[in-house]
Every structure is written in structure tokens, then in C-alpha cells.
A and B are shown apart, each in its own frame.
Chain A
Amino acid sequence: MDVSASFRRVLPVALCAGALLAGCSEQRGSGPRGSSGVVLTYWPAPNPQEILLADSLVRVWNRLHPEIRVEMQPIPVSISTEEVLLAAIAGKTTPDVCSNIWPGALHDYTQAGGLVRLDAFPDFDSVMSLRTPRELLERFRVADGHFYEVPWKTNPLMMFYNRRLFREAGVEGVPSTYGGYLAAGEKVVTHRYEGGTADVWMGDRDVRPIWWQRLFDFYPFYIAASGGRTLLTAGRPSFGDSSAAGVFAFFRECYGRKYFPRTYFQGGDPFLLEKKATHFSGPWEVAAIRKFAPQMDFGVAPVPVPDDHRGPVFTYGDYKDISIFSTTTHPMEAWEFVKFLVSAEHDLLLLRICDQIPVRGDLLENPLFAGYFRENPAMTEFARQAVYTRGMDDAPDLKEIFDAIAQEYESCAVYGRVGPSEAIREAVGRTNLIVEWNR
């Protein structure tokens, strides 16, 4: 059999089929499609509430703007949105607009030239000044002096508490300091190992040394204890102070006195199951309680601070923002869509559907939102707290720095092997090394 002759006959067919298949798979969102005008792709976060919100908004937009069609596609599910977006930037498959941009990853995106400069649009300042207070907006300016994201929503980390469990344990008032929290823990926790399990915990945190878990314990507590400071100053670690050591010492007491379990839970949120009295979380928890534990009598308060703390209590804002990717061929149309997403009416929709706080200065004054906050008093606490929030530093090493903190948090707070001051010294030392390695 003449294999090479057969191959020569088959090769053109195979090449044609390959070209056809390649043509079928190439479906870019940006750019005109036939005669139907501009098509934009929009990636919202892949959780059910935000998909529902995005779907509603896109339907309205497409009805009002038939010449600029928006196609919504939730961000492909992965371990983290940031990995997906980085991969998309590398593969030049980014959407035109994305509304799940974590400011901590912005440095990577801008360094890669992946984002459109938003302050290059002539009406950027006027649009932003109507929505976000200037002082807050300035925190989103990156090192090159420009804006690449519209601050969209914030999820201030606060303390949820179960009123029934507090009442039954005889806890009066809501603990606002480390001392008050530990005293309440003493009353709440009953370690009756009946059936091998404790009855009720004061709280719990994932004990695994996973960097982003520290965004929900160490980081908000550090921001609160330090009066609103973040981890870095001019790219160098500035958290080697008594506030950070105090946070480690506080959590060390929680684990040491067995108010927190040295494990992590699978198959159910113990706060929703009323198995723990406090929970550090964002406003999305309100919707979860409403859905899975509607009978729960709960309240929301700022995270505990050192006993001698004075002044307002800041916390981590867990911001998620909107950006336009530089792969877009229609930046003006994309900017129009972004402005549509952050209008007051659609911010109300964000509150109603997702129970997340828009980054607006007039949330508690604007009559448009009054009805929502009257119906959802717990959300009013988050709206009040939103003014006292901090985001992330603009640095390329954040994940690694949080990893270093997570390692020390584990050995000091969870297992009590190292003292708080020594652990913070180690974390600062490792952070200095990381910064040196990466520059």
C-alpha cells in the first residue's frame, strides 16, 4: 500500500476540515457581526444572584440599545476569577466588560496592558462624582496615576451574631472588643462531646493556610485594630506593629480557649445551622440566612477591636469593580454600557437581587434606596459600615504576602507554636524577602 500517496489525497481534505472547524470555534464577542451592529461580551460573577442581575440588566440594555447588543456570559468557573482572567488576558480571549474585578489583582492586569484607561473617557469624572465620594474614589487610582476600574460594589466584612444563642448563654449586649468577645465566648461555648461533637462554638475560621482565607479574619481585624491601615506603604510591609500582633493574640486566645474549633466544616455552614454564635462575613450572608435559616434571630455589628480602641471601626471592603478589557474594539460603546450598569436604578437592583452594597455616597440619603433599607434593616448596618472600609494595596505580590501571613497565622493563632510578636516578625521578614525576589 502506498501510504504517502494516500496521505497526499487525505491531506487537503483534512486541512479544509481543520480550517472550517477553526472558523466555527472563533467567536469573538467584540466587533460587528454581519449587519447587526456592535456586539459586546459581558462577564459577571458566576454566582446565581449576580447572573440573575446581569441577565435582567442585559435584557433591558438590549431592548433600549438594539444597535449595541450585549451578550452576557458568567465568568467560567474556576478556583478563582483572577486565574480565569489572567488566562483570558494571556490568550487574548477577554470579554469587553467584566464586573468581578478584584482590586488586589488589578496590578497584574494593568501590567499586562489588559485594561482600558477609564479616565481617558471625557465624562469619567462627572459620572464618578455623581456616585462615589472623591476621597473613596482616589483609593482606586493606581501607581501610574490613572483609573482602570469603576468601584461597583463593596462587601464590608462584619460580625454576624445569633441573638438566641447569646440570650441562652446570658450574653448581654453585642461584644465590640477583644475582651468582650472572649468573655461572651466563655459563656457561649459548651464543650459537651456528646456524639463526638461540640454543641456550640463561639466562631470558626478555615484553619488551612490558604492565602485568601486571611481576607476574612486577619485582614479585616488588622484594618480595624490599626484604624484603617493596610499592609504596605510604598510597596514595603508596614504591618509589623502591635495591632497585627494583637490580632494574632486575639485569635490565638479563641483557639487556645477552644472557642473556635481546630478544623473546618464541610457539608453545611455551622452559622446557618445555629452551631456557632458569631460569623465574620459580608452582606451576601443576609440572603443566605433568609433562604436557609429564615427562623434565625440575628444581628450585625462591626468586627471586635482591641479593648483600648478609639474612633470609628474600619474593615476590609472586599470590593468588586467593573473594567473594560483592552481587547475590545468598541471602547466607547463598552463605556456606555458600564455607565448603564452603575446608574442609581441599577444600583437599587444590585441591592434587591444580590444584597450587596453599591459604592455610592448617597445610599442612606437617597430616597430611591430608602424602601429597600426599611425592608432590610440588617443591610443598613452594612451601608453605614461601607464608608469605613479599606481595599487592597496596589502591589504585585499580595497573594504571596497573604500566603506568608497565612503560614504565620496558622502556627501562632491556630496551633499556638509561636508567640504573636515573633509570628508577625517572621511574616514581615518573609514579606521583605518576597518583595526583594519579585522586584
Chain B
Amino acid sequence: MTGLNQILQRARRSDRGAYWFILPYVIFFCAFVAYPLVFSLILVFHRWNIVTPMEWIGLKNFDRLIGDVLFYRSLLNTLTFLAIHIPLQVVVALALALLLNAGVRGRGLFRALYFLPVVVSGVAVTILWQQIYSYDYGILNNILHAAGLPPVPWLVDPRLAMPSIAIMATWKNVGIYIVLFLVGLQNIPRDLYEAANLDGASPFKQFRYVTLPMLNPTIVVIVVLSTIGGFSLFIEPYVLTGGGPMQSTLSGMLYIYNQAFSFGHMGYAATLGFVYALVILGVVVLQRRVIESEMSS
């Protein structure tokens, strides 16, 4: 109580007018962050399908989650997606950023082109890729056929479907990470390269021992953002595959969506949501530690 009193006293001493300025955000935060969070937490212990009254079921949703093979499958699929998507995203974004930073002609145009998919609606992009990946009528398989190669079941083979989605997601999001890398590259002091040149470092060694370590904070940000974005994988499998073939693209978010809005299990969906939030937190903390220790060594 003493702590609370101190806070209240400090508040009374400060400029009261300032509170009116933060009020809009406080209202927004309460309505769209705090209230849903608290309500979700309440839902975890209930059975509720929106229209009927809530029914208290204690820890039954957790009991169900422990025995739910589709939960583990969706978690494994999401981690598989991350394992393909994040390295691909970092490598492609870094490579393109290095090219754009090297002063190629029409740099502004290329930057705009790479950024274009970021601002296009996810559903529109996914429908476009549907036409590219289609097994019997797709653009890619038509090109392969013209080259005398057999068609590839991009979305209908359980082993290929998730990598195909990861490639698509990389194409969609790479623009934003190129911009982040460009900012990082332009913040590296030129004198480091000059010193490396004087020491006789080759371009590869300059990249390895100057560029990469200096980009460490940017890489951490990109990996964390990609991880959080990757855990939100929803539109692509929802539109492209419906979670198939053979549940190989059933992502965590798609599974939560199905439970909540297709089957009306709001309580179970909230439980899945909380567990996923904990998993994301764990993965991000782990990633950060690994990347920082790798970079420092």
C-alpha cells in the first residue's frame, strides 16, 4: 500500500494536465489490450461459444490441450516454417540490401519494387501465388514443362507445402527487412572499412569481420520480428491449403482460428493462445541469447 500511496502522491504533485494527453491511449489500451487480455484469461477456465452462457470448467481446457495431437502438429508445423523462413528471410534481405547499398543504377526503383509486396493485401498476394503454385495449371509448372521437366506438387505434397509457403512469405515480407538492413548498413562508419582496406582485408573479410558484427543489432531485431511474424502465420495456409495436405501447413494461428471461429470453442482457443504466447516468449529469448553469443564470439 505504501508503494501505491507514493505513486498517487507523485501523481498529485505532477502536472495534472498531462494526464488528459495520455488519456486517449489509456482508453485505447484498456479497451483493446488490457480488457481482451483479462477476458481471454477468464475464458481459459470456461467453455463458451459466444451465444450461450459461459460454463466454468476449471483446467479442462489444459487437459484437452495436453492430449490434443493437432496442437502438437500445429506447433511443429509453425517451428518448421520458422526454421525455413527466418534464415531465408535474413539471407535474402541481407543480400538484396548489400546490392542496393552498393550504388546500383535505379536503386530507388528497386527499393520500391521490393517493398511493393509488403503493402499489398496478404490475401491478394496469396491468391497470386495460388496461380503460381497450382499443380495442373500453375505458372511455375508450365515453365518447368517448357524446360522438359516434370511438374512439382508445390502445395499438394506434404513435404513441399510448408517450404512453398515459407518462400512465398519471404517474398511478401523481404522488403521491410531490406529497409532495416539498409539503415544498418548506412550506419556503419566508413573509417572501419578504410582501416580494413589498409590492413589488406579482402571484400569477403570486410563483410565477415566488419559488416556482419556491426549489423548484429539489426539481425537480432529482424530475427525477433520474423519469429513473432512467423508465429502469426495464418492467411497463407488459410487461403492456399486450408491447413493441408495432411495437416502439414496447419499453423498455430490457423488452428486457434478454427477452434474459435469455426467450432465456437472460445475457451480452448484462448488456452491455445496463452500457450503460444509463452512459446513465442521462450523462443525469442533463446534466439536472442544464441545470436548474441554467436556474434560476440
Taking Cβ atoms with an 8 Å cutoff, the residues of A that contact B are 1-4, 7, 83, 86-87, 89-90, 108-109, 111-112, 114, 193, 195-198, 207-211, 261-263, 265-267, 397, 399-400, 403, 407, 410-411, 414-415, 417, 437-438
Contacts and interface: CB of A to CB of B under 8 A. Distances in A.
19 contacts: A2-B17, A3-B17, A3-B21, A4-B16, A4-B20, A86-B49, A112-B52, A196-B142, A208-B241, A209-B247, A263-B136, A397-B263, A399-B262, A403-B262, A407-B247, A410-B245, A410-B246, A415-B158, A415-B245
Interface string B15-42: 0110011000000000000000000000
B51 A86 contact: yes
A417 B17 contact: no
B137 A262 contact: no
Interface residues of B, number: 40
Nearest to B250: A209
A266 B134 contact: yes
A7 B127 CA distance: 49
Contacts of A403: 258, 262-263
B209 interface: no
B226 interface: no
B262 A211 contact: yes
A196 B136 contact: yes
Nearest to B139: A196
B243 interface: yes
Given A4-B16, A411-B246, A266 B127 contact: yes
Nearest to A266: B130
A87 B50 contact: yes
B85 to A, nearest CB: 22
A4 B50 CA distance: 40
Interface string B115-138: 000000000000100110011111
Given A3-B17, A87-B50, A209 B136 contact: no
Contact of B156 (A108, A114, A263, A438): A263
Interface string B141-176: 110111000010101101000000000000000000
B142 A210 contact: no
A403 B243 CA distance: 11
B184 interface: no
Given A208-B241, A209-B247, 8 more contacts: A7-B20, A83-B261, A86-B49, A196-B137, A197-B136, A207-B244, A415-B156, A415-B158
